[in-house]
Amino acid sequence: MQIFVNLITRAIFMSTPLVLGALGEVLAERTGMMVTAIEGIFLVGAWGGFIGAYLSGNLLIGFLLAMVCGLIVALLYGVTTIYMHQHQIVMGTAVAILVTGCCTFFYRVIFGIQTVPLKVSILKTIKIPLLSKIPIIGQAIFSQNLVTYFTYILVPIMFFVIYKTSLGLSMRSCGENPEAADAAGINVTRTRFLAVAIAGCLGGIAGAYYPLCNVGMYNAEIIGGRGWIAFGICFLGNWNPVGALIFGVIFGISDALGIFVRAMGTSSVPSELFSALPYILVIILTVCRKQFNVPAKLGANYVKED
């Protein structure tokens, strides 16, 4: 029983950055922007988060810097695609590759080549009074860190904004029929830019989660495709914040499973298989999904005539 509770606790813990990144992606894709730079945003978030926290000794500064770094990368992506009308997928991939190089380079510029990895202390768990006493979910849900709480509160907020407010209606219209949105007096470019900027901030925090909440150190492989998984979760969750949460937890579970198997070290199944599980899941689930509710103009730039 305790193993099961630990597993779920770990799953929620590991799902946090995936859900957070996917929420940003959902918002952006709803406006028609396929933020393919998300892997780069995650990485720059991890990098900025670690550097901020290490140099200042303050995790909050780490997260703030991560957010700013994520925002800058998102803006670079947004300016080139939204204002300069470059291809979204090509730009996103190019930005992600650029970020990979920059992070490694500037990490060495700042710290040199270290033989022993630099460490920061990770974000503490906060037990919510009373609620954390509830059996099972008390530990699984109410004994997590602040970022996890923030993420889970953000899910209903995001849902409300997308489906119940005029801002959400405008955003969805930009992704479905930007010409119609434009004709209705909505500034399509600004709306898309705003959504990409928010996705950048959330992605930055999500990336910083790995060094600052999980391992306490940074290396170039720290993200290792998890940005892409958040990207996939957005698809699998049908561009819906609640869907993103559900699939985020599923991936959290598989992530947690991998870690458990490795920790036990006795399994006859190689632990690498479990590490690969999230990636295999993306492929299987994407192929199996039948109904997609894709925003009609996802990935298509809006170029106004005249």
Partner 1 sequence: MNEPVIELKHITKRFAKVLANDDVSITIHKGEVVALLGENGAGKSTIMKILYGLYHATSGEIWIDGKERKIATPKEAMDAGISMIQQHFSLVPAHTVTENIILGNCKGKLDIKKKEKEIQALAEKYGFQVPAGEYVKNLSVGTQQKVEILKALYLNARVLIMDEPTAVLTPQEIDTLMEFVRRYVEQGNSVVFITHKMREVMAVSDTIVVMRNGSICGTVKKTDTSEAELAHMMIGRELETLEKPGTEDMSNRRVRLAVKDLSIKPKDHTPLLEDINFEIHEGEVLGFAGVSDNGQQELCEAIYGGIPITSGKIELDGEDVTNESVKDRIKLGMGYAAADRYRYGMVAEMSMSENMLLKSSYLNKWVNHGLIRWSALHRYTEDSIKQYAIKAPDHTVTAGSLSGGNQQKMVVAREVDMGDKLIIFDQPTRGLDLGAINYVHKTILGERDKGKAVLLVSTELSEIFALSDRIAVLYKGKIMGIFKNGELTTEKIGLLMAGVQPEKEGAES
Query: In the complex, which residues of this chain contact partner 1 (CB under 8 A)?
Result: 164-166, 169-170, 172-173, 176-177, 179-186, 293, 295-296, 305-306
Q: In the complex, what is the shortest distance from the CB of residue 231 to partner 1, in angstroms, rounded to a whole number?
A: 22
Q: Which is nearer to partner 1, 200 or 237 (CB)?
A: 237
Q: In the complex, what is the shortest distance from the CB of residue 296 to partner 1, in angstroms, rounded to a whole number?
A: 7
Count Cβ atoms below 10 Å from residue 188 Cβ, excluding itself.
22
Q: In the complex, what is the shortest distance from the CB of residue 234 to partner 1, in angstroms, rounded to a whole number?
A: 17
Q: Which is nearer to partner 1, 221 or 306 (CB)?
A: 306
Q: Which is nearer to partner 1, 113 or 183 (CB)?
A: 183
Q: In the complex, what is the shortest distance from the CB of residue 26 to partner 1, in angstroms, rounded to a whole number?
A: 15
Sequence length of the chain is: 306
Q: Which is nearer to partner 1, 132 or 238 (CB)?
A: 238
Cα separation, 27 vs 56, whole angstroms: 32
Q: In the complex, what is the shortest distance from the CB of residue 183 to partner 1, in angstroms, rounded to a whole number?
A: 4
Q: In the complex, what is the shortest distance from the CB of residue 177 to partner 1, in angstroms, rounded to a whole number?
A: 5
CB 209 within 8 A of CB 126: no
Residue 109 neighbours by CB under 8 Å, 6+ apart:
none
User: Which run of H or E residues covers position 111?
Assistant: helix 88-111
> Which letter does DSSP use for residue 133 in this model?
G
Q: In the complex, what is the shortest distance from the CB of residue 192 to partner 1, in angstroms, rounded to a whole number?
A: 15
Q: Which is nearer to partner 1, 283 or 296 (CB)?
A: 296
Residue 126's SS3 state is strand
In a 13 Å sphere around the CA of 6, the CA atoms on its Cβ side amount to 8
Q: Name the token pair of 188.
A: 């399509």
Q: Which is nearer to partner 1, 104 or 177 (CB)?
A: 177
Q: How far is CA 2 from CA 31, 139, 140, 274, in A?
A: 43, 10, 11, 21
Burial (Cβ within 10 Å: 0-12, 13-18, ≥19) of residue 264:
exposed
Q: How far is CA 276 from CA 21, 64, 205, 283, in A?
A: 20, 31, 24, 11
User: Which run of H or E residues covers position 143?
Assistant: strand 143-144
Q: Which is nearer to partner 1, 97 or 294 (CB)?
A: 294
